[in-house]
Amino acid sequence: MKGERGTASKQGRYESYFTLRSFLMPRYYFNVTHEHAEIDRIGEEFPDKHAAWKEATVMAGQTLQGIDGKLVPGREWRMEVKDEFQKTLFILHINAEKPD
């Protein structure tokens, strides 16, 4: 009896974990560097990396609108998209250059 009870309890914990995990989405982080580095320590949940890419492009467009002339030649605006394991998935670059 005791062994069966322990097995049922253990199985219940595994089932609870997998049920909970199926509702959680991966978390993605959007780090931006322009005049200084802004590290995203909270991140956002998206169903997959394709949805995170779409969000990155929307965020990049909105951010660039707000730069208001602060992007000068010799400077770069950069966004890195990282997954929940801090693996870099995408990098967006905007470079301002002055021709010679």
User: What confidence category does residue 3 fall into, taking pLDDT thresholds of 50, 70 and 90?
Assistant: very low
What predicted TM-score, i.e. pTM, was given to this entire model?
0.71
Distance CA 87, CA 100 (A): 37
> Around 24, how many Cα atoms within 13 Å sit in the side-chain half-sphere?
10
The pLDDT value given to residue 88: 97
Distance CA 24, CA 32 (A): 25
Look at residues 14, 17, 18, 46 and name the one whose alpha carbon lies nearest to residue 30: 46
pLDDT 10s digits, 13-30: 555 545 555 568 999 999
